[in-house]
Structure 1
Amino acid sequence: MTPEPDLRACFGFRTRRAMRALTRHYERHLAPTGLKPTQFSVLAALRLRKHRDLTHLAELLGLERTSLLRALATLAAAGLLAPDNALTRQGEARFAAALPLWQAAQDAVAAELGEQAQAITILEQLGERLGRPARA
């Protein structure tokens, strides 16, 4: 007889649950601005202008390129992005309104996690190690 998996000990299960909770947490905080967490991240990344192209931007954000393109189209349709993907005045205003709400969400998560730098390091290492292509 094959033993049943213990979902309580499953990293994938626990991570998905945590991710859903974190997403809902950020959605609640950003709700007054009408931005979703991914849209906020896209606007923040576009403001930095540290990407070479959209493929690189998608990689920086941890998004599939098609997901990024959908997010850009939604932001542009809302008048937040110009055709060159620069933030419009309306986009800058929406981002400015969202920033303190995002910071409040960040602060609440940091308070729950304790040592923020350690938690970020663990998440980065996990993403880098598990994100590598499998070796043949």
Structure 2
Amino acid sequence: MKANSSITSCNCFAIRQAARFVSQLYERHYAKAGITAAQFSLLVYIAEAEKAGMADIAEAMVMERTTLVRALKPLERDGYVVSEPEGKGSRKLLLTLPPKGLQKLNEAVECWHAAQAEYVALVGAQRADDLRQMLLAIPSGKAA
């Protein structure tokens, strides 16, 4: 960086700082359901897809496969997510939520509502919506 530059002029720093702050806010709420923010996102994605392959989840979450596997292990261990082969002899696994997983998701949705409300109270409804739309556009390349 140039001598007259500041860390606060770095886009990456600002986004990461905000992401850590927002993640901590949501994590505090999800802790009441015994899951993490990443696990909540996985439960929601799998529930909406009904059956989801690892590659699809990793792509949608912009997540490395190894990170995804680490996040899924406790969900599978606790019986919130189950995997099954796509078909006979297939090595591709599809993930689904059994009733226990749907119950955990419903519990966590209450925590999500509380986190959303706290976040909106902090930044304002319109600003929260605008920021979310801008951030969602970045990975798709449609942010310009």
Pairwise same-fold verdict (TM > 0.5): yes
Partners of 1:3 and 1:117 in 2: CA distance: 36
Does 1:80 pair with 2:80?
yes
Higher RCO (CA < 8 A, seq sep 6+): 2
Q: Which protein has the bigger strand share?
A: 2
Alpha-carbon shift at residue 112 of structure 1 (Å): 2.6
| TM-score in terms of structure 1 length | 0.83
Number of residue equivalences: 130
| Partner SS, residue 48 of structure 1 | helix
- Alignment correspondent of 2:138: 126
Distance change (3 Å), C-alpha of 1:58 and 1:81: same
Q: How does 1:1-136 map to 2 (within 5 A)?
A: 2-3=2-3, 5-49=5-49, 53-84=53-84, 85-114=95-124, 115=126, 116-129=128-141
Q: Which amino acid aligns with 1:102?
A: W
Secondary structure of 1:24 counterpart: helix
Gapped runs of 5+ residues in structure 1? 132-136
Where does structure 2 lack aligned partners over 5 or more consecutive residues?
85-94
How far apart are the structure 2 equivalents of 1:49 and 1:86?
Answer: 8
Distance 2:108 2:83 in 1: 22
- Does the Cα contact within 8 Å between 1:51 and 1:57 map onto a contact in 2? no
Calculate percent identity across the aligned residue pairs: 28
Q: Give 1:89 shift.
A: 2.2
Shift in CA distance, 36/11, structure 1 to aligned 2, threshold 3 Å: same
Change (3 A) 1:13 1:82: same
TM-score (norm 2): 0.78
Q: Is the 8 A contact 1:80 1:91 kept in 2?
A: yes
Show CA shifts across 1:59-92 (max 9, x none). Answer: 1122112211222222101121123322122211
Deviation >4 Å, runs of 4+ = none
**Residues in 2 aligned to 1:56 and 1:20: alpha-carbon distance in whole angstroms:** 25
Deviates more, 1:33-42 or 1:121-130: 121-130
Query: What do you get for the CA RMSD once the two structures are aligned?
Result: 2.2
Is contact 2:50–2:96 with CA below 8 Å preserved after alignment? no
For the 8 Å contact 2:46–2:52, the answer to whether it is kept is no
